[in-house]
Amino acid sequence: MKLGVCYYPEQNAEEIWQIDARAMCELGLRVVRIGEFAWYKMEPSQGMYEWDWLDRILDILHNEEIQVVLSTPTSAPPSWMIYEHPDILPVAENGISKNFGSRRHYCPNNLAFHDYTRKIVTQLAYRYGKHPAVIGWQVDNEFGAHHSVQCYCDRCVSQFREWLVNRYQTLNNLNNAWGTIFWSQVYTHWTEIYPPNLTVAKANPSQVLDYHRFASDSFVKYQKIQVDILRENTENQFITHNPDFGSFEVDTHMLGKDLDFLSWNSSPTGQAEKFTSRLYAPWDSLPEFSYDVGDPYITSFFHAWVRGAKSKPFWVMQQQVGQTNWGEINPGIRPGTVRLWTWHAVANGAETVVYFRWRATRFAQEYYQSGLLKHDGSLDMGYKEIANLLPEAPVMQQLRDEPLSSPVAILTRFDDLWAIKIQPHRKDYDYLRTTFSYYRALVELGISADLVPYDADLSQYHLVIAPLMFIGDPDIIARLEAYVARGGSLLLGPRSGSKNESNVMVNEPLPGLLRSLVGGTISDWQSLPSDVQFAIRSEIPGLYGDVGIWTESIQPDDNEIVNILSRYLGGPMSGRAAITDHDFGAGKVYYLGFYPNHEQLKSILKFFMKSLNYESILDLPDGVVVIQRGHHRIAFNFTRNEKTFVLDDQMVTLVPRDIRFFLRDWS
């Protein structure tokens, strides 16, 4: 188990490099990430490379037995480059070119930028691909940050057309797939097609989805340019990337395929501020957690997303250690918080935690971002927290070595995310919110869940959940049929199978290609005003009350044996099925026809897990998370209050912002 820190030698006087490196070593930090914004320092003018400073800092760190993750600096092209090639700058959706002066200011399809990228990455790989201090590479930094994925420049217009030719082959295929006969949108030549911006009314949703795919693929291809160079010119050095999760504009599942593992940047207080309104519905009651610790369910959700993208451990490449600078409030933290976050990351599958940053910067956009050292070089709270954490490192290593085996998989797919974003039908219907609601409910029941893509190996899971399988892909459905036929259990949420891969409604009864799995059809559906709800009657213990937001009635097929678990009692669907289960091969398929509230969803999931003979279900108070690794458990209190609960038939009390680990056999 390694702990590390992000370091910016180019932002500090060279005379303190040795002092900093010695202090890092004494603190117990064994990994340093450097270089992600240092392009100007590496190449101050075109083709004139300066490596002496980087040689010196690598030697200093190596002499202190500190390993280095060296970043390619391509997230911040220098001003001389933009001056020579202003077309590198991305063009916004409104058709106006962005300006120089921050970061992520490049079009991923620009040929000149590709050339500069190849040159700088090749130089780095040649020089440091076998350096004894360098254990791995971070490609670029935070693809997707600042909504920087979708560019609308002339190069992207031509590349989008080429992407469409590769996908559809003929204009006839494209016109049929997009349904361009609607509103007389039929294309007669490829050059008539433009990105879906600046339209008078909403653009064709099929075209918009394809532009999401194209823009994401552009960054996947751009990343591969760098990965291929690094693979060819390095030895025994890993390659990773830390995608941004602010916009979900780049498909992390596709990004991960070319990497050894994925990383991410964890800022729990900032992410609680940023994502609460998106992940919690307006009608949800918010869980209890401390404002200066962050929402444990949101932080866990992103840990699980990164872990599940490749179904393997990950790195936290930037771990918050104090105040952030980009939120709305940016609260400070209290003693115990960094320890809590570190243990939480490790329990969720992090192999290494790298703290952000070593020294708070005195200038530019991030001077309010805390470091382990303050602006004057004195010790900040994060430094003291890590010093207190070090004696626990052997126990942390023991926990990290235990398998994280989840009984439940929640399936995720960017095509569904984008398609729902394009046409949610009701403004508060959100893919991430729906997916998060299932994840949070399981965590509150003490049940670990993996967030995995549809091509993951599903054989290990008791229950597989597809909360919003909006697009019915035949290959994916065939894999799900095989999983269930072999004895697996599948839960499908409302709106499943509504569209085909072109984001067009299917031409058969809903749920389309999922009909054989469900054993029936959706006979009616309603999007309801927030103050309109219908009562249900259910065989599921604890499931009662009214349901709303989105309701579907399920009509079992005459030739199928379908068990109705819940029915609507009022409204236009009165008496019809709201939840069903259907035997399929050796397994079972559940269909949930409405959008449940939080307590209803917990009751549903508890019932399904018990029916699968899974008895390790907990009753946890708000803000308490319990994670199982192998035969061991670790409990976290993310609140400002003492919490008492039952664990392993014992009463457990946790003080605020604290953890307790149970390193003993448990089953």
Q: What is the pLDDT of residues 628-650, one digit of tens each?
A: 988 789 999 999 999 999 988 88
445 shares a domain with 549:
yes
Q: What is the pLDDT of residues 260-301, one digit of tens each?
A: 999 999 999 999 999 999 999 888 888 888 889 999 999 999
Number of domains into which the chain is organized: 3
What's the rounded mean pLDDT across residues 209-222? 99
Task: For residue 214, tell me if it sits in a domain.
Answer: no
Q: Which residues, in sequence order, are bridge partners of residue 533? A: 548
Q: pTM higher than 0.85, yes or no?
A: yes
Neighbours of 463 (CB within 10 A): 23
122 shares a domain with 22:
yes
Q: Is the pLDDT of residue 185 over 80?
A: yes
Q: What is the pLDDT of residues 330-369, one digit of tens each?
A: 888 888 999 999 999 999 999 999 999 999 887 887 778 8
Residue 472 and residue 512 in contact, taking contact as beta carbons nearer than 8 Å: yes
What's the rounded mean pLDDT across residues 468-486? 98
Q: What is the pLDDT of residues 415-447, one digit of tens each?
A: 999 999 999 999 889 999 999 999 999 999 999
Average pLDDT score over the chain: 96
At residue 664 the predicted structure's pLDDT band, cuts being 50, 70 and 90, is low
Q: What is the share, in percent, of the chain residues with pLDDT greater than 70?
A: 99
Closest CA to 67 of 132, 123, 124, 7: 132
393 shares a domain with 276:
yes
642 shares a domain with 588:
no
Q: What is the pLDDT of residues 483-499, one digit of tens each?
A: 999 999 999 999 999 99
Task: For residue 153, tell me if it sits in a domain.
Answer: no
Task: For residue 162, tell me if it sits in a domain.
Answer: no
Task: For residue 107, tell me if it sits in a domain.
Answer: yes
- According to DSSP, residue 373 is labeled B
331 shares a domain with 428:
no
Q: What is the CATH number of the domain that holds 604?
A: 3.40.50.880
415 shares a domain with 388:
no
Q: What is the pLDDT of residues 43-95, one digit of tens each?
A: 999 999 999 999 999 999 999 999 999 999 999 999 999 999 999 999 999 99
* Structure tokens that stand for 255 in this block: 């990004």
What's the rounded mean pLDDT across residues 517-537? 95
* Structure tokens that stand for 591 in this block: 């269909």
634 shares a domain with 487:
no
What's the rounded mean pLDDT across residues 379-392? 92
Residue 427 and residue 588 in contact, taking contact as beta carbons nearer than 8 Å: no
What is the largest distance, in Å, between two alpha-carbon atoms of the chain? 81
395 shares a domain with 477:
no
CA–CA separation, 68 vs 57, rounded Å?
10
584 shares a domain with 556:
yes
345 shares a domain with 239:
yes
Task: For residue 335, tell me if it sits in a domain.
Answer: yes
Task: For residue 155, tell me if it sits in a domain.
Answer: no
At residue 666 the predicted structure's pLDDT band, cuts being 50, 70 and 90, is very low
Q: What is the CATH number of the domain that holds 309?
A: 3.20.20.80
Task: For residue 208, tell me if it sits in a domain.
Answer: no
CA–CA separation, 322 vs 584, rounded Å?
51
584 shares a domain with 437:
yes
Among 160-169, 272-281, 393-402, 537-546, the minimum mean pLDDT is found in 393-402
Could you tell me the residue range of the domain that residue 66 belongs to? Answer: 2-147+220-401
Helix (H) or strand (E) holding 490: strand 489-492
Q: What is the pLDDT of residues 293-325, one digit of tens each?
A: 999 999 999 999 999 999 999 999 999 999 888
User: What phi and psi values does residue 574 have, to the nearest 5 degrees?
Assistant: -55, 130
- pLDDT given for residue 663 in this prediction: 59
Which residues are within 8 A (CB) of 637 and not within 5 positions of it... i.e. 6 or more apart? 623, 624, 643, 654, 655, 656, 657, 658, 659
- pLDDT given for residue 21 in this prediction: 98
378 shares a domain with 458:
no
- pLDDT given for residue 667 in this prediction: 46
